[in-house]
């Protein structure tokens, strides 16, 4: 794999970022219910959207949320969305993204990074556990709350 890097979301990469394909069965896991409901209330100033580029090609998208004042602890420093292109999955892009978000969170002074996921066969649970998240709770919609100490 060549050099992966993050780019700000911009006019040149937004179409590619929005067109990322998933593997069959993954679509239902992309936006856990809690994120879908909270989306309307999120302050755009606290979101951190980044595109993952590999050799000039967009291979992923991540959106974090950094909002120390959020009343919900699981939304203060979290991965709101992570999505790797179907044909780029399994080659370390997701691991790179989590490490990059963790670095940014540390830089901002947070001591914990969280993520929510819906349990299920085709879902991302095995990935999140593999890259270091541990389950610290469950939301009212049955999603797992994962956390990494930074």
Ligand X SMILES: CC(C)(COP(=O)(O)OP(=O)(O)OC[C@H]1O[C@@H](n2cnc3c(N)ncnc32)[C@H](O)[C@@H]1OP(=O)(O)O)[C@@H](O)C(=O)NCCC(=O)NCCS
Interacting residue ranges for ligand X, rule: CB under 6 A: 22, 26, 29-30, 32, 82-84, 89-95, 117, 124, 126-127, 130-131
C-beta of 144: minimal distance to ligand X in Å? 9
Residue with smaller CB distance to ligand X, 93 or 147: 93
Which residue's Cβ has the minimum distance to ligand X? 94
Q: Which of 95, 96, 88 is nearest to 23 (CA)?
A: 88
Residue with smaller CB distance to ligand X, 66 or 98: 98
What are the tokens at 60? 């992923």
Do residues 19 and 60 make contact, with C-beta atoms less than 8 angstroms apart? no
- Percent composition of the chain: helix, strand, coil (DSSP 3-state, to 5): 30, 30, 35
Residue with smaller CB distance to ligand X, 109 or 136: 136
């Amino acid at each position: 794999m060549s050099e992966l890097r993050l780019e700000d979301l911009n006019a040149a990469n937004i179409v590619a970022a929005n067109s990322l394909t998933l593997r069959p069965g993954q679509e239902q896991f992309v936006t856990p219910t809690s994120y879908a409901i909270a989306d309307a209330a999120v302050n755009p100033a606290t979101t951190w959207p980044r595109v993952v580029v590999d050799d000039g090609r967009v291979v992923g998208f991540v959106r974090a949320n950094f909002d120390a004042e959020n009343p919900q602890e699981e939304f203060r420093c979290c991965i709101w969305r992570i999505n790797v292109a179907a044909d780029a999955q399994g080659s370390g892009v997701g691991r790179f993204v989590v490490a990059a978000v963790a670095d940014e969170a540390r830089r901002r002074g947070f001591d914990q990074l969280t993520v929510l996921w819906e349990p299920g066969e085709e879902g991302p649970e095995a990935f999140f556990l593999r890259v270091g998240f541990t389950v610290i709770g469950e939301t009212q919609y049955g999603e797992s709350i994962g956390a990494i100490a930074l």
